[in-house]
């Protein structure tokens, strides 16, 4: 399978997983419209730009930089003292939306172009910049993630590089798995999110480290 077809097909099935998790978070009351009204469209626009870039450039050039950022995130999560921040007052609405829009566009761009670690970066950004707990930040992240997947799938589909006969069976499993994962996240709260995010970061660091240093 050519790289662009593999990437497009992966985005096709990932969209269903992101949508399933977003639906579960919404049912738990964790998705707030006053923020999603800006993060969804900005994530969409960022991903459109990023997906267009990936059709022109090789995303592998980002691997060393992303590896460094993921190591920094791992250290941040592992050695942060005290519980993850939660229930802190939000910034004023205008600032909240401006920060949310900036995060959504930048991470949508990154997700459309490269992708690994997007969810982790989003959770850390929303938690650190907006004062949201890790559980709420996970819901914020899914809004952007779902938007970016929609944008990427739209562009890849228009270019005929989504192999739907492969993507759709995978999408069924993605939808179910993401729903269960989001349900466990809602029940487990910030402590569970912190452990899972740290485990994912370590796995990504090992994967990208192998790619960068071993080829």
Give residue for tokens 């592992």.
Answer: 78
Q: Is the pLDDT of residue 160 over 80?
A: yes
Q: Name the pTM for this structure.
A: 0.88
Surface-to-core class of residue 179, CB atoms within 10 Å of its CB (0-12 exposed, 13-18 middle, 19+ buried): middle
How far apart, in Å, are the Cα atoms of 203 and each of 94, 97, 206, 208, 210? 37, 32, 5, 9, 11
What percent of the chain has pLDDT above 70?
93
Domain residue spans of the chain: 3-214
Contact in structure between 84 and 186 (CB atoms under 8 Å):
no
Q: What is the pLDDT of residues 82-126, one digit of tens each?
A: 545 555 788 899 999 999 999 999 999 989 888 888 998 999 999
How far apart, in Å, are the Cα atoms of 163 and each of 129, 160, 167? 38, 8, 6
């Amino acid at each position: 399978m050519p790289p662009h077809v593999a990437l497009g097909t992966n985005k096709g099935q990932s969209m269903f997983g992101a949508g399933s998790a977003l639906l579960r978070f919404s049912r738990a009351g964790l998705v707030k419209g006053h923020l999603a009204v800006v993060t969804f469209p900005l994530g969409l626009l960022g991903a459109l730009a990023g997906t267009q870039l990936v059709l022109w450039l090789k995303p592998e050039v980002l691997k060393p930089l992303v590896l460094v950022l993921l190591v920094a995130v791992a250290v941040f999560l592992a050695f942060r003292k005290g519980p993850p921040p939660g229930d802190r007052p939000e910034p004023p609405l205008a600032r909240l939306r401006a920060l949310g829009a900036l995060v959504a566009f930048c991470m949508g761009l990154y997700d459309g172009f490269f992708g690994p670690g997007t969810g982790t970066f989003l959770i850390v950004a929303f938690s650190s910049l907006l004062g949201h707990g890790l559980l709420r930040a996970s819901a914020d992240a899914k809004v952007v993630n779902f938007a970016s997947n929609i944008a990427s799938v739209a562009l890849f589909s228009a270019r005929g590089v989504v192999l739907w006969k492969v993507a759709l069976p995978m999408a069924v499993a993605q939808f179910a798995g993401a729903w269960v994962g989001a349900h466990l996240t809602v029940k487990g709260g910030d402590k569970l999110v912190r452990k899972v995010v740290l485990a994912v970061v370590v796995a990504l660091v090992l994967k990208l480290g192998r790619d960068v240093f071993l080829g």
